[in-house]
Each structure stands twice: as structure tokens, then as C-alpha cells.
Structure 1
Amino acid sequence: MDGLRRERLWRAVTERAGGEWPEAGWVKVVCSAAGELTGVDGAAVSLRTEENRQELVASTDVWASGLEELQFTVGDGPAVEAYATRGPVLVGDLTVEEQRWPGFADGAAAVGVRAVFAFPLQVGAILVGTLCLYRRAPEPLIGDALSDALILAEIATTAMVSDLGHTDGRPKAPWAHVDAEGYYDDVNIATGMLAAGLGISLGEALLRLRAHAFSHQIPITEVARLVKDRQLRFDTSTDP
């Protein structure tokens, strides 16, 4: 049964690519398919490392990418937990479990999220990222939808590996190039600037950026751009 389900989902993904190698990469196609096939309102795939580095690879829309950024800003949330625990995190009603990730729950509620489902992306024993599904209605992901989501997470992992470069000569996806512009590039630059300016570690500098973004309720990417453009300064080692 799983074999037939996997074949059906692979076919659904490849049909969305029109039978061609997708210029934006396979992860983008899988992400869009996951949003449609599981009956949720948004989906996003993020590349993650154990050093708490994160990069948004694909999303269905600005709403979903904003929710990934929210998790990056507060440093917590369902995708963060799914990566840390190596298992799915399924929350059918976020208001019931709002104390699980208070920072994320408040921000998510403000933009209409009521349910969220996160899945780790894993190649053998190596974790490479997460697939996160977002829903505006408080409704669990069960039955066929859950089975599809689990397999789509596997397909997303395969897509990520394919996007990084194929042995048959296929080019890398745009997001996979070393010199590609990353979603959080400004954050990385601002973190380095802050660390150098205050004489603190990169980890502490990132915490300062996150604290400022959270306390002022603005995206961390916006805070980073202000720091990079020298429109925002952290003048002391205790300035949030």
C-alpha cells in the first residue's frame, strides 16, 4: 500500500513539473505539491544544521515563508522541535498548546495560523532540514493526509539531494549554488558585524538580533538590514 501511495505522490510531483527538469529546483515543486495534496494552506522547506543555521529553500507563498522566519526569529517552534527530536510534530490546535512555543504561538496566531505540522528531512542518519505545513483552521492531520505528508517529507529529502547536483550532469538548483542569495544572508552579515563590534561570539550576536526583533515585533531580516545599513546600532554589550 505504501509503495502505491509513494508512486502516486511521485507522479503528482513530476506532473507539476510538466515532465521537465524544473528551473527553480525540485524542492520548490515538492513544497507546492505538499501544500495542495495534504489539504493545508501553506508549506515551507528549510535547510537546517545542528549549529542552528537555517536557510529557507522553498515556500508556497509569503505567508508560509513569514512563518518560517518567525521560527528563526524566536529560535523555537514546531520545525525547530521536529529537527531536534528527529520526529514529526503534529499540532491540530495551536491554541491548546500555545505554551509549548509561546513566542511562536503568539506570532502565528496573529497571522491566522491555527494548526501546524512539521517533519524532519533525513538522509540516512544525517538531518538536512524540515518540511512544515500550516493550516488556518484548527484541524488535525490524520488518515491519508498524514500518510501523504510523511511520504512527501521523504520525497522532499530526495528532491533536496537532487537539487544539490546530479551525477548525470544535471545542474544544481538556483538555491543550491554557493554564491546564491540566501533568505537569511543579511542576518548572517549583521551577526558578524555585531559580533565584531561588541567583541562577542556569533551565537550571542544572533541572540541579540533575535531579542531585538522579538521585543519590537519586527522580522529578524528587517533588523539585520538596519544593522547592515548602519541605521541600527547596539552600543553596549547589554543592549537588546
Structure 2
Amino acid sequence: MDWQCFAQRIAAMAHDLLEQDSVAGTLGRIAQSATELVEGCDAAGILILRDGQVQTLAATGPMAEESHRLQERMREGPCFDAARRRDGERVFRIGDMTAFQQRWPAFAPRAAELGIGSMMGFLLFADEENLGALNLYSRLPGCFTETSETAGWVLASHAAVALSSARHQAQLTEAVATRHVIGEAMGILMARHRIPENEAFNALRRHSQDSNMKLREVARQVTERGSLARSE
């Protein structure tokens, strides 16, 4: 690989990513870039694995989408293996899907039936029951090399940043929404019972603990009903 040329193309891709107006657009462009920049890569996809359910965030075609669904259906494959092991291994490579794979004996032959000859997977993050991964596919066996892996890591780093940004933004949005609904519920209780702010919050918190319900859900019910579900 001509690394100077590769670096120039990566720089151009990075500039292109900045022009995307959504996380979905960014991830889609990263997946497409894998087929353009990684030698032998015929398809690519980005997925998240949450509580055993696979969600495809980006895919360049049916090969990647079907592989994601296959891993979910078989409960086996590089992504499920990464989710279970969590031992620091961040990249997986299957050199030949037609050869017996001790680690994935059920997944590999069925993936070969999809036309996949070889595969690489890059773990983007893993926490609790959530996992993100960038997967690269080739129709030919033995196609991916150490050089391919290095190039894949560059793309995976961009995908990880994009996903991290999206997750952080989602957490901020949820936090703001939670604070708003709790404040609204406190205002209702304060006006109805003529109590100060701290007592209104304590009433919400006690009900949350007694009912084993999240504070946000208790607050939402107050905003809908005008009071707590039972006597305050």
C-alpha cells in the first residue's frame, strides 16, 4: 500500500465526514470508505449489539446486513464473541470462511453461503450489554492482511468517535428532558400542596423508592395526572 496516498485519501475522507449532517450520514460514509480504501473490501457495516439484539447503523449492501442478521440468529460470530469475552481483544479476522473455524463453527459456513470469503471485525466500544463494531467483508478468502487491518483501524477510530459523540449527545438530551419533566412535576406539587421546592422533590423521590419506579417516570405521571398516583 502506498501510505502517502492512503494518508491523503484518509484526510479527504475526514473532511468529507465533517460535511455530513447526521451521525447516520457519517457512519454510512465510513462504511462506504472502507470499500474504497481497504484493499479487497467488498462490503462493510457498522452495528451495535444491545442486550443480544443487533441493530445495523450502516451497511454498504446486503452482504453486510445479512451477516449482521446471521450473527444475531446464530448467537455466534465475532461480535457476539467480543461481547462475551471482553478480554481486551479488539480485532477479529476470519481468513477463510470455507475452512473450519473452531471459534465460530456455526457462523462461518453459513457466512460462506452468503458469499463471504473472509472478514475482519473491529470492536468500537463495549460496556455493560452494549457493543459497537465495524465489520469488513471480502468475497475472496485470505484477502485481508496486516496492512488491511491497519487501514481498517483508521476507519474504526473515526466510527468510534462518531458513535461516542452520538451517545454523549443522546445522554445530554435525555438528561435535559429528565430535568425538565422533574421540574414541571415539582411545580405542580408545590402549587397544589403549597409546599416548598425541597418537599416537592422529596415527595417525588419517596414515591420513586416506594414504587420501585424511576424518578423520571414518577414525574411524568404527575405531569399527566396532576398529582402522585397515591396520597402524598
Q: Same fold (TM over 0.5)?
A: yes
Question: Are residues 1:72 and 2:83 paired?
Answer: no
Q: Rg bigger for which structure?
A: 2
- Please report how far the alpha carbon of residue 33 of structure 1 lies from its aligned counterpart in structure 2 after TM superposition: 1.0
Pairwise mapping of residues 3-152 of structure 1 onto structure 2 (< 5 A)? Answer: 8=8, 10-17=10-17, 19-22=19-22, 24-39=24-39, 40-49=41-50, 51-85=51-85, 86-122=89-125, 128-152=131-155
Once residues 21 and 80 of structure 1 are traced to their aligned partners in structure 2, the CA distance between those partners, rounded to angstroms, is: 31
When normalised by structure 2's length, the TM-score is: 0.59
Once residues 91 and 142 of structure 1 are traced to their aligned partners in structure 2, the CA distance between those partners, rounded to angstroms, is: 11
Which deviates more, 133-142 or 12-21? 12-21
- Please report how far the alpha carbon of residue 22 of structure 1 lies from its aligned counterpart in structure 2 after TM superposition: 4.6
List alignment gaps of at least 5 residues for structure 2: 173-232
5 and 159 in structure 1: CA distance in 2 versus 1, 3 angstrom threshold: farther
153 and 17 in structure 1: CA distance in 2 versus 1, 3 angstrom threshold: closer
Whose helix proportion is higher, 1 or 2?
2
Once residues 78 and 5 of structure 2 are traced to their aligned partners in structure 1, the CA distance between those partners, rounded to angstroms, is: 26
5 and 79 in structure 1: CA distance in 2 versus 1, 3 angstrom threshold: farther
Partner of 1:209: none
- Please report how far the alpha carbon of residue 111 of structure 1 lies from its aligned counterpart in structure 2 after TM superposition: 1.7
Amino acid at match of 2:33: A
Once residues 107 and 124 of structure 1 are traced to their aligned partners in structure 2, the CA distance between those partners, rounded to angstroms, is: 28
Q: Is the Cα–Cα contact under 8 Å of residues 71 and 80 in structure 1 kept in the other structure?
A: yes
75 and 162 in structure 1: CA distance in 2 versus 1, 3 angstrom threshold: same
82 and 105 in structure 1: CA distance in 2 versus 1, 3 angstrom threshold: same
Q: Is the Cα–Cα contact under 8 Å of residues 30 and 159 in structure 1 kept in the other structure?
A: no
Once residues 80 and 67 of structure 1 are traced to their aligned partners in structure 2, the CA distance between those partners, rounded to angstroms, is: 12
* Structure 1 residues 55-80: Cα deviation after superposition (integer angstroms, max 9, x where no partner): 11111112210111111110101222
45 and 23 in structure 1: CA distance in 2 versus 1, 3 angstrom threshold: closer
| Percent identity for Structure 1 against Structure 2 | 25
- Please report how far the alpha carbon of residue 24 of structure 1 lies from its aligned counterpart in structure 2 after TM superposition: 3.6
35 and 68 in structure 1: CA distance in 2 versus 1, 3 angstrom threshold: same
List alignment gaps of at least 5 residues for structure 1: 170-240
Amino acid at match of 2:57: V
Once residues 69 and 124 of structure 1 are traced to their aligned partners in structure 2, the CA distance between those partners, rounded to angstroms, is: 21
Once residues 28 and 100 of structure 1 are traced to their aligned partners in structure 2, the CA distance between those partners, rounded to angstroms, is: 29
Amino acid at match of 2:42: D
- Please report how far the alpha carbon of residue 159 of structure 1 lies from its aligned counterpart in structure 2 after TM superposition: 1.3
Matched residue count: 165
Once residues 102 and 138 of structure 1 are traced to their aligned partners in structure 2, the CA distance between those partners, rounded to angstroms, is: 16
**Cα root mean square deviation, aligned:** 3.3
When normalised by structure 1's length, the TM-score is: 0.58
133 and 26 in structure 1: CA distance in 2 versus 1, 3 angstrom threshold: same
Partner of 1:229: none
Partner of 1:156: 159
**1:120 partner SS:** strand
Once residues 125 and 6 of structure 2 are traced to their aligned partners in structure 1, the CA distance between those partners, rounded to angstroms, is: 17
**2:69 partner SS:** helix
18 and 142 in structure 1: CA distance in 2 versus 1, 3 angstrom threshold: same
Once residues 75 and 123 of structure 1 are traced to their aligned partners in structure 2, the CA distance between those partners, rounded to angstroms, is: 17
